[in-house]
Structure 1
Amino acid sequence: MTAGRTGAPNMPNTAESAKGPASYFPSIERAYGRPVAEWKELIRASPLTRHMELVAWLKTEHGLGHGHANALVAHTRAEDTTM
């Protein structure tokens, strides 16, 4: 087992392996009951284009917390600029 790592040996620790906005994804799925792919589809389908508009929309219309909404928007927009 690696020093400082919790969990079973040889098992991936997703909280450690995910970096940046993606590190929020497991808790987003648990907290709101939807897969991240579904949230990304909603963001892409929205007529809103500005980052903070999308964050505010996710918070007011879908009840997400600020950090979760921000992570989803940031990750989705980053994916879209690299595609």
Structure 2
Amino acid sequence: MSIEPVKGPASYFPSIEKRYGRPIGEWERIVREHLPAKHMDLVAMLKSGHGMGHGHANAIVAHVLASRKD
């Protein structure tokens, strides 16, 4: 049985947790607290308010927004 590598925004999660010292669930909560807002406004909030890099912020926002679509 082979294990498929994690793809998409979730592939960034281990490095986000390591670099910024918070679990992904906490970052997701922070993003959800700022909804409704545009994708790039949420990315900017994580970058300016939490010192997160663009790619990491974008991955979290994309994941949260994708999980809201039904």
Q: Same fold (TM over 0.5)?
A: yes
Identity %: 57
Secondary structure of the structure 2 residue equivalent to 1:17? coil
Question: What's the counterpart of residue 7 of structure 2?
Answer: 19
Q: Of the two structures, which has the highest relative contact order with CA contacts closer than 8 Å and spacing of 6 or more?
A: 2
- Unmatched segments (≥5 aa) in structure 1: 3-11
- Unmatched segments (≥5 aa) in structure 2: none
Q: Indicate the RMSD between aligned Cα atoms, in angstroms.
A: 1.6
Map Cα deviations across residues 47-77 of structure 1 (whole Å, 9 max, x no partner). 5510000000100000000000000000010
Structure 1: which 4+ aligned runs deviate by more than 3 Å? none
Q: How many residues align?
A: 69
Q: What TM-score, normalized to structure 2? A: 0.90
**Residue 23 of structure 2 corresponds to residue 35 of structure 1:** yes
Q: What TM-score, normalized to structure 1? A: 0.77
Distance 1:19-1:66 versus aligned 2 partners, 3 A rule: same
